[in-house]
């Protein structure tokens, strides 16, 4: 059997290695149009900032090592320019000398990946405008920084690549400004969770410009002018385009293969395209979201590697359906870790899935053991069944461990009651006897069983307009003085039992504390005395991520905290 593979990065390289392990007889050829094979896209920003010092460390294999280890014919700087499916022939261009030749195949795997999306702007051909997608891109940016010593950079986009590049530019001594069309970074997060990142980025030297429309670029006296609609242009020494990626599927389109959303390649459960002898993997294909069962584009290395392995298995007769991805992801942002898995509020709504949510702030390990830091955990769940739908975590320690547990729980279709029962490893340096994952299960089940009623930060404007509603802050006097929600009254939890007779039983009390724990306790006390009460999920700590104490809307707020 002769298998040709278009693209030699995550999916393609994995498929080739798996094919060889399954067959010593197969002829396997990888065609990679760049000069590098099996390289780490995710590591490129860290080479720019010098965290990864040697360019050789960006590649897991070289063409030579791939041949030595796996007897695979790796042809870098070779671009497949046409597929002739009826003849089972591909046309290949050798980019070193521009010659074109043909190769036959029995099976073909397409792993072309995605290409950097370009914004609808003029002047994209100006000097010193870069993308971060290939090893060559990273080499060019680092060379520019080392030779030209830029002081400022503008980054268009605030997703994974934009944020990782911003961090590494700061590390390299460059002051970055991120331009965003919306009001948040990290679109995989809900807007309220992303709000927790904004101040942190600013404190670490990254400027943010929200709700800006990019018009284009011009050059002036060696600098770039970044033109924004209805605003003065920004001067910058360099620009990074990081507005996202689009599937690189021209080959598939010209070959007549069926395409889906954004031109992605449609595949079946066995990763076959509309031509059964052509398989496709990686960022270029449409897959199924593991939670919503809807079609999705998920450009992540983990799914691409698994798809490459699955495709190889299927080609070799080890029929194995690929059941989709929960889009689990994680990001290092200076000392902070940001992670998510499953659905967020937007994707739940798009899929028509009814959900509820909780926000908690557990410690990374036992609070009495030195170094404990709290994290913000937001969990989405199905109210009726308690099934876990998604999770987002922001923190400084222990985030990676918890997001992986939630990812496994989502894949296993576990419920909040199952989270309560998880027997997780405990020792004071690593966790608490009540692990954050268990804790999330406890809180969700309290809500589902009616032991407490919760309200969320976006309900506060309506609550403020209710005649029978009282916003009751039960934190300490010092906490209340430091910052509180406008219109709330103060009564410390420790005085609540003594003064409960002074409360108006005809009123509904909406209780606020710092994290949500004390307000839960207060609600149990109030309910025991026949007083209607609910508590703020995530507490004032989460509220203050999104708003300031003087307003109820992040869009209306113009304070330094949210802008």
Q: Spell out where 356-492 has E strands.
A: 356-360, 376-381, 388-395, 454-455, 469-473, 489-490
Q: Where is 488: in which H helix or E strand?
A: none
Q: Where is 477: in which H helix or E strand?
A: helix 477-482
Quickly count: other Cβ atoms within 10 Å of residue 427's Cβ. 11
219: left (phi over 0), alpha (psi -120 to 50) or beta: beta
Q: Both tokens of residue 263?
A: 């031109």
Quickly count: other Cβ atoms within 10 Å of residue 400's Cβ. 13
Contact 364, 386 (CB under 8 A): no
Catalytic residue, candidates 4, 42, 126, 348? 42
For residues 146 and 410, give the distance between their C-alpha atoms in angstroms, rounded to a whole number: 45
User: Distance from first CA to last CA of the chain, Å, rounded?
Assistant: 59
440: left (phi over 0), alpha (psi -120 to 50) or beta: alpha
Q: Both tokens of residue 506?
A: 């005809």
CA-to-CA separations, 415 to 91, 345, 455, in angstroms, rounded: 51, 18, 21
Q: Residue 70: phi, psi to the nearest 5?
A: -120, 0
Contact 233, 239 (CB under 8 A): no
Q: 455: which strand partners?
A: 536
CA-to-CA separations, 480 to 311, 463, 492, 523, 539, in angstroms, rounded: 58, 19, 9, 18, 12
Contact 534, 523 (CB under 8 A): yes
Picking from 173, 175, 168, the residue whose alpha carbon sits closest to that of residue 208 is: 175
For residues 312 and 26, give the distance between their C-alpha atoms in angstroms, rounded to a whole number: 11
| Upper half-sphere CA count for residue 557 (Cβ side, 13 Å) | 19
Quickly count: other Cβ atoms within 10 Å of residue 260's Cβ. 17
CA-to-CA separations, 194 to 159, 182, 346, 350, in angstroms, rounded: 11, 12, 13, 19
CA-to-CA separations, 467 to 249, 259, 470, 471, 523, in angstroms, rounded: 58, 55, 8, 11, 20
**Active-site residue 551, yes or no?**
no
Q: Both tokens of residue 137?
A: 């891109």
For residues 434 and 256, give the distance between their C-alpha atoms in angstroms, rounded to a whole number: 55
322 burial (CB, 10 Å; 0-12 / 13-18 / 19+) is: buried
**Residues involved in catalysis:** 42
């Amino acid at each position: 059997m002769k298998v040709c593979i278009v693209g030699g990065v995550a999916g393609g390289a994995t498929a080739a290695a798996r094919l060889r392990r399954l067959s010593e007889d197969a002829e396997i050829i990888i065609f990679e149009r760049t000069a590098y094979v099996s390289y780490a896209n995710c590591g490129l920003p860290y080479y720019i900032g010098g965290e990864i010092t040697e360019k050789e460390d960006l590649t897991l294999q070289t063409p030579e090592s791939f041949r030595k280890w796996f007897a695979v014919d790796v042809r870098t700087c070779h671009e497949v320019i046409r597929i002739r499916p009826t003849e089972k022939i591909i046309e290949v261009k050798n980019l070193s000398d521009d010659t074109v030749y043909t190769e036959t195949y029995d099976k073909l795997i397409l792993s072309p990946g995605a290409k950097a999306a370009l914004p609808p702007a003029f002047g994209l051909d100006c000097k010193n405008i870069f993308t971060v997608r290939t090893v060559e891109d990273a080499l060019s940016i680092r060379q520019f920084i080392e030779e030209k010593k830029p002081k400022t950079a503008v980054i268009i986009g605030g997703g994974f690549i934009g944020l990782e590049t911003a961090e590494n530019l700061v590390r390299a001594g460059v002051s970055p400004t991120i331009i965003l069309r919306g009001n948040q970074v990290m679109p995989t997060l809900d807007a309220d969770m992303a709000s927790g990142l904004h101040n942190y980025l600013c404190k670490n030297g990254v400027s943010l410009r929200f709700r800006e429309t990019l018009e284009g670029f011009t050059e002036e006296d060696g600098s770039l002018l970044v033109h924004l609609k209805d605003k003065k242009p920004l001067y910058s020494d360099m620009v990074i385009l990081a507005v996202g990626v689009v599937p690189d599927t021209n080959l598939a389109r010209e070959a007549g293969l069926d395409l889906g959303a954004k031109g992605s390649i449609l595949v079946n459960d066995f990763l076959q395209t509309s031509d059964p002898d052509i398989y496709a993997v990686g960022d270029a294909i449409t897959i199924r979201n593991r939670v919503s069962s809807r079609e999705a584009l998920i450009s992540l290395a983990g799914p691409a590697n698994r798809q490459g392995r699955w495709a190889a298995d299927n080609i070799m007769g080890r029929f194995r359906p690929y059941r989709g991805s929960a889009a689990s992801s994680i990001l290092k942002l200076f000392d902070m870790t940001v992670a998510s898995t499953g659905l967020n509020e937007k994707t739940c709504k798009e899929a028509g899935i009814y959900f509820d949510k909780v926000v908690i702030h557990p410690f990374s390990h036992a609070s009495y053991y030195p170094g404990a830091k709290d994290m913000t955990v937001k969990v989405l769940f199905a109210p009726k069944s308690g099934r876990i739908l998604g999770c987002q975590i922001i923190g400084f320690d222990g985030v990676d461990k918890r997001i992986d547990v939630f990812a496994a729980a989502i894949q296993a279709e576990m419920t909040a009651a199952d989270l309560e029962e998880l027997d997780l490893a405990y020792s004071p340096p690593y966790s608490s006897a009540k692990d954050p994952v268990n804790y999330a299960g406890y809180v969700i089940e309290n809500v589902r069983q009616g032991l407490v009623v919760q309200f969320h930060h976006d309900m506060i404007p309506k609550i403020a307009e209710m005649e029978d509603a009282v916003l009751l802050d039960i934190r300490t006097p010092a906490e209340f003085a430091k910052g509180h929600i406008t219109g709330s009254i103060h009564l410390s939890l420790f005085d609540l039992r003594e003064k409960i007779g002074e409360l108006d039983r005809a009123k509904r009390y909406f209780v606020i504390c710092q994290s949500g724990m004390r307000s839960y306790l207060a609600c149990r006390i109030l309910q025991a005395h026949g007083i209607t009460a609910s508590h703020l999920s995530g507490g004032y700590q989460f509220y203050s991520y999104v708003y300031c104490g003087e307003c109820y809307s992040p869009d209306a707020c113009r304070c330094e905290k949210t802008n």
